[in-house]
């Protein structure tokens, strides 16, 4: 880990962005396929082999559609709002590590765009700006369904962001750092129990934190069963009711990017990131493990969507403030207590 | 001219322009959006000063929580129906000018002593590095040197939360008024109504002549829901 020429950072960032944007398109395909299997259907089959060209066809279709602005809309805010959601979702990828410093063609390359000492908080911060896209989009549409979706989203994201942040405090207490790179490499260490050696993934030491994080992450990305901002059966499509063409696609893709980012974030924090058999010998294997973990998370997201019905709004708020928040605080207290025992400052 | 200066100029100009927008826009939602822009640029300046932690907190707390709640409230207001801007009583205006002047003077004194007179505080860059970084330094100072102020701040916040809950609670002291309004049963369509006196239409029964039917629920006959009288009361 160290400084590198800025052109290498540009190349790494470019590669990560390309991969992220492509995988975002193919996450839509993945979701449609997996969801179809859950519902005993085939999903897309016509465009290309196994429907693999479907995302491209969708992109062409969406770009060719008319970009409508309703009469009642606040025009400038309406046009600007989708960009906020999309760009902030992409921005959070800047701090997620895909490995350490490796040698490629004899040059030292950091497999992360940047490593700031508050990386974990940075992702929370970009997420909290991203909610403005939803709120402003809903408000500026001049439609009461959109406004309702926006208001629901504001309340939901504020509540669950708190839990998302609190569920990470346990890890910060254990590692003493907020840099995602440091947190990831702490998990590459091995714990030995007699003849057995297992990786020190934080899901083992922070199981409650992990559960809280996953619940809050699903709510934060507005996915089922927490998709109240866009509940079809009540609000038409919530905050995106009035959007069409590429602006609709920006919201849609922003949601998928934040799903991928949240999966990367969870894999980095709790499942060891790139750690796995052989990852310390070849960096490519590490990336493969990270991708596998992310795909498992995405599968879990889709599984939830296929299984659970939507929450009622009062249940959603009750769950956040009366159940998850006390549990998160309990997790912090217990972790801090064990950390003090580990330091020999108690007993 | 170094890049740092260029970035500083861009961020601070954007911050000031957004600040101007907050007071200049007519639509309160536009003002709030301008405030968001201003806060984000403040966070950028924090990061440029090497205070990444403060910058990120600025975004999480102010942009992500406080301003979302502000937007939440003003989104529900119809901007065309806002009352005339009220500048406050003369005493209030005077007090606000005085407080504003004091705050501005505080900032001025801080800038002058720290930069022009070069009286740098104890937490220099080297000192912060020695403490293990920004986050560690803020944590240590806040929970040791300024622990009292920290606790007082949390107490103030708790008082605010309790106050909000008390205001938001429904008034439980008053006996709940459980009156069912029945508007427009035709005669014979309800067993309960059949027990009452027979008129052409229940809509025409004067409230004082109507006896409540047998059962738990009180049925009140009225044409105008705003002007009903409770049976048992004399009409007002």
Per-residue burial over A18-41, b if 16 or more Cβ lie within 10 Å, else e, is eebeebbbebbbbbbbbebeeeee
Non-local (6+) Cβ contacts of B214 within 8 A are B192, B195
pLDDT in tens, A224-266: 788 777 767 777 777 777 787 788 888 888 888 888 888 988 8
Q: Among A95-99, A263-267, B206-210, B212-216, whose mean pLDDT is lowest?
A: B212-216
Per-residue confidence band for B211, with pLDDT thresholds at 50, 70 and 90: low
Interface of B with A in 4-43 (CB under 8 A): 27, 29-30, 33, 36, 40, 43
High-pLDDT (> 70) share of chain B, %: 66
Average model confidence (pLDDT) across chain B? 75
Q: Do B133 and A117 touch (CB under 8 A)?
A: yes
Q: Is A118 on the interface with B (CB under 8 A)?
A: yes
The answer to whether the beta carbons of residues A245 and A66 sit under 8 Å apart is yes
Residue ranges of domains in chain B: 1-79, 94-123, 134-167, 180-227
Do A121 and B56 count as a contact with CB atoms less than 8 A apart?
yes
- ipTM attached to this prediction: 0.78
DSSP code string of A218-263: HHHTT-TTS-GGG-HHHHTTGGGTT--HHHHHHHHHHHHHHHHHHH
- What average pLDDT is seen over chain A? 82
pLDDT at B200 over 50: no
Could you confirm whether domain B1-79 is CATH 3.30.70.3170?
no
Subunit contact B60:A165, Cβ cutoff 8 A: yes
In this predicted model, what pLDDT tens digit does every residue of A102-160 receive, in sequence order?
Answer: 777 767 777 777 777 788 888 888 888 888 888 888 888 877 788 888 888 878 888 88
Per-residue pLDDT at A346: 66
Q: Higher confidence at residue B118 or residue B189?
A: B118
What is the nearest CA distance from B136 to chain A, expressed in angstroms?
A: 9
Question: Please, what's the b/e burial string for A315-343 (b: 16 or more CB within 10 A of its CB; e: otherwise)?
Answer: ebbebbeeebbebbeebbeebeeeeeeee
Q: What does DSSP assign to residue B132?
A: T
> Locate tokens 């992409």: which residue?
A90
A220 inside 8 A of chain B by CB: no
Work out whether the CA dihedral B199, B203, B208, B211 comes out positive or negative: positive
Q: Are B68 and A154 in contact (CB under 8 A)?
A: yes
Q: Are A154 and B68 inside 8 Å of each other by CB?
A: yes
Cα B202 to Cα B196: distance, rounded to the nearest angstrom: 10
In the predicted structure, residue B193 carries a pLDDT above the cut 80: no
Rounded Cα gap, residues A304 and A324, in angstroms: 18
Percent of chain A with pLDDT over 70: 95
Choose the most confident range, by mean pLDDT, from A196-205, B48-57, B196-205: B48-57
Query: Is 80 exceeded by the pLDDT of residue A325?
Result: yes
CA B63 to chain centre: 14
Q: What is the pLDDT of residue B71?
A: 84
Nearest beta carbon to residue B135 from set A118, A122, A135: A118
pLDDT of residue B154: 92
Our CA-based measurement puts residue B212 at a distance from the nearest CA of chain A, in whole angstroms, of: 37
Q: What are phi and psi of B19, to 5 degrees?
A: -60, -40
Interface touch B75/A124, C-beta < 8 Å: no
Contact A161 B135 (CB under 8 A): no
């Amino acid at each position: 880990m160290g400084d590198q020429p800025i052109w290498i950072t540009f190349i790494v960032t470019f590669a990560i962005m390309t991969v992220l944007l492509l995988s975002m398109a193919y996450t839509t395909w993945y979701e449609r396929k997996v969801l179809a299997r859950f519902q005993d259907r085939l999903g897309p089959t016509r465009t290309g082999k196994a429907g693999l060209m479907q995302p491209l066809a969708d992109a062409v279709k969406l770009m060719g559609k008319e970009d409508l602005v309703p009469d009642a809309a606040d025009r400038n805010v309406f046009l600007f709002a989708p960009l906020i959601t999309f760009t902030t979702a992409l921005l959070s990828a800047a701090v997620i590590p895909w490995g350490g410093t490796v040698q490629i063609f004899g040059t030292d390359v950091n497999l992360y765009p940047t490593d700031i000492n508050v990386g974990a908080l940075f992702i929370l911060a970009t997420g909290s700006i991203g909610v403005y896209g939803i709120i402003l989009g809903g408000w500026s549409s001049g439609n009461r369904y959109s406004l309702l979706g926006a208001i629901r989203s504001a309340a939901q994201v504020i509540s669950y962001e708190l839990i998302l942040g609190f569920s990470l405090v346990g890890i910060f207490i254990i590692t003493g750092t907020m840099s995602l790179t440091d947190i990831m490499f702490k998990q590459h260490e091995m714990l030995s129990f007699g003849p057995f050696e297992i990786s020190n993934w934080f899901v083992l030491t922070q199981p409650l934190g992990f559960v809280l994080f996953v619940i809050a992450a699903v709510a934060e990305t507005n996915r089922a069963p927490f998709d109240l901002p866009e509940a079809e059966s009540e609000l038409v499509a919530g905050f995106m009711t009035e959007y069409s063409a590429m602006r609709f696609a920006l919201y849609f893709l922003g949601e998928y990017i934040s799903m991928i980012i949240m999966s990367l974030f969870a894999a980095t924090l709790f499942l060891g990131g790139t750690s796995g058999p052989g990852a310390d010998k070849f960096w490519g294997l590490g990336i493969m493990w990270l991708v596998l973990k992310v795909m498992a998370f995405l599968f879990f997201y889709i599984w939830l969507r296929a299984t659970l019905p939507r929450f009622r709004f009062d249940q959603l708020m009750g769950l956040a403030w009366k159940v998850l928040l006390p549990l998160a605080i309990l997790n912090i207290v217990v972790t801090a207590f064990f950390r003090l025992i580990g330091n020999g400052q108690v007993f | 001219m170094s890049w740092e200066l260029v970035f500083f100029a861009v961020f601070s100009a954007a911050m000031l322009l957004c600040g101007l927008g907050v007071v200049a826009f007519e639509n309160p939602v536009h003002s709030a959006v301008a405030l968001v822009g201003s806060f984000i640029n403040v966070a950028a300046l924090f990061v440029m000063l090497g205070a990444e932690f403060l910058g990120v907190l600025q975004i999480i707390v102010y942009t992500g929580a406080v301003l979302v709640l502000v937007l939440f409230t003003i989104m529900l207001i119809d901007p065309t129906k806002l009352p005339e801007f009220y500048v406050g009583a003369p005493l209030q205006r005077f007090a606000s000018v005085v407080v504003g002047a004091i705050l501005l003077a505080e900032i001025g004194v801080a800038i002058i002593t720290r930069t022009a007179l070069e009286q740098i505080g104890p937490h220099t860059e080297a000192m912060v590095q020695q403490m293990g970084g920004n986050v560690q330094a803020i944590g240590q100072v806040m929970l040791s040197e300024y622990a009292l102020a920290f606790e007082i701040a949390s107490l103030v916040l708790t008082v605010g939360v309790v106050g909000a809950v008390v205001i938001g609670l429904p008034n439980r002291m008053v006996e709940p008024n459980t009156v069912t309004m029945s508007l427009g049963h035709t005669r014979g369509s309800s067993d309960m109504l059949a027990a009452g006196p027979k008129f052409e239409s229940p809509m025409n029964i004067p409230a004082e002549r109507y006896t409540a039917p047998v059962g738990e629920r009180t049925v009140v006959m009225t044409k105008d829901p705003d002007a009903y009288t409770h049976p048992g009361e004399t009409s007002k």
